[in-house]
Amino acid sequence: MTASALAAAIASKTAAASDLIATTQVAAVAVQFIATGSFVGSSVVSAKVLALTQGVLTTMLLSKLKAATAMAIVSLGLAWGAGLIVHETVAAQAKQAEKGLPAQAKQTEKGLPKKGDAAKASISVARESKAPVEPLAHFRFDGDAKNEGKGEAEFELRNTEFKENALYLNGKNENVNINGKKVPDAGFRAICTTPKMNYESFAVALRFKAESFEDRKRNLFTGGRTDRWFGMERSSDGNLVVTLNSSRFSHEIEGAALEAGKWTVVACSVDVPGRKVIAYLNGKKVADIELPKDFEIDVAKSERKDSDKRWSFTNYAKAYMFHGLADELLIYGRSLNVEELGKVPLRP
């Protein structure tokens, strides 16, 4: 049975169509169409055309064929199988019956997605499922200082210990002098080297529990052994402070209180070309800091630009140290935006 023959059957008047459908070939195709909603091998049949054609064929069969003829059609249809039908032929013929389209078919049409909806949905899902940025360095401190990040990073540790699945730092300065003499092994040393980092674009996140913030035990994390090009510390009022260029640029974040004895997460992103610093505390943004238009990281243009790509829990210029547990540390090779900072996988 050809597509044109079936189309002719649909287009003819009701009485003539009824006679034609009574023939074996048309009946077989019609029954298969009604039973399955498509023709074997057809690849382009729209839901609208399907509904229109089914409605027309159903009306013709039910209204014009007697029970015996209908049974014969079913038998012949199952034996014969279904032919092919193309979208354009059925659409042209079925359009004539659109005015009499059953309510059910119209509802089917309303339920169809609009053009472009599928593409928009795919883009939305892709955005939502976007993976977090991979850190340059990732230290969990679960009994060791192994880097699990994608970049090159290594810790030098001395007078430290691991407990509670974290790195414990005693809050003592490694450079201690008594009566003018340096006391060896008095304090801790914890320095991380990241030779491939970029001074102008980076981010850092730290989960910690301070044992004390008394005296000079107010440092959190410092970038730079000699130049202190970046730093996070606690102010005398108990707030988070972000510093750059050996504290020549310093910003205290009001309301961002740091308390001893509590697990805390701090995260900070520095974007020098964008003149922006973003700070997070316990998963919430606490500051958008604007840098001066002519701001630069000084060490980036000095002779120490390669040797000072180091991080420490000690600010050696101020003799500020961290005292407590450092549970997890992430260092990123570029700045992070607000959405990316919100996905940093650290929680208090």
pLDDT digits (tens, 9 = 90+) for 44-75: 334 443 444 445 434 443 444 343 343 333 33
Residue located via tokens 């500020």: 320
How many residues would you count in the chain? 348
Q: Are strands 310-312 and 314-315 parallel, antiparallel or unpaired?
A: unpaired
- Residue 12 is encoded by which pair of tokens? 């003819």
**Boundaries of every domain in the chain:** 3-112, 137-342
- Whether domain 137-342 has CATH 3.40.50.261: no
- Residue 151 is encoded by which pair of tokens? 């970049």
Handedness of CA 97, 103, 104, 109 (dihedral sign): positive
Of 286, 228, 302, the closest CA to residue 277 belongs to 286
Handedness of CA 31, 36, 42, 45 (dihedral sign): positive
- Please state, rounded to an integer, the average pLDDT across all residues of the chain: 75
Looking at the whole model, is its pTM more than 0.75?
Answer: no
pLDDT tens column, 108-156:
444 444 445 544 444 444 444 478 899 999 999 999 999 999 999 999 9
- Residue 238 is encoded by which pair of tokens? 């108990």
Banded pLDDT at 30 (limits 50, 70, 90): very low
Contacts of 263 by beta carbon, 8 Å cutoff, 6+ apart? 207, 208, 209, 327, 348
pLDDT tens column, 255-280:
999 999 999 999 999 999 999 999 99
Banded pLDDT at 104 (limits 50, 70, 90): very low
Banded pLDDT at 3 (limits 50, 70, 90): very low
Query: CA torsion angle for 168, 344, 261, 176 (degrees, to 10)?
Result: 40
Of 294, 293, 315, the closest CA to residue 227 belongs to 315
What per-residue confidence (pLDDT) applies to 175?
Answer: 79
Burial (Cβ within 10 Å: 0-12, 13-18, ≥19) of residue 3? middle
What per-residue confidence (pLDDT) applies to 131?
Answer: 81
pLDDT tens column, 163-221:
999 999 999 998 766 566 666 668 999 999 999 999 999 999 999 999 999 999 999 99
Alpha helices in the chain (DSSP H): 3-11, 14-21, 24-36, 47-64, 67-80, 87-94, 103-110, 117-128, 338-342
Mean pLDDT of 4-20: 45
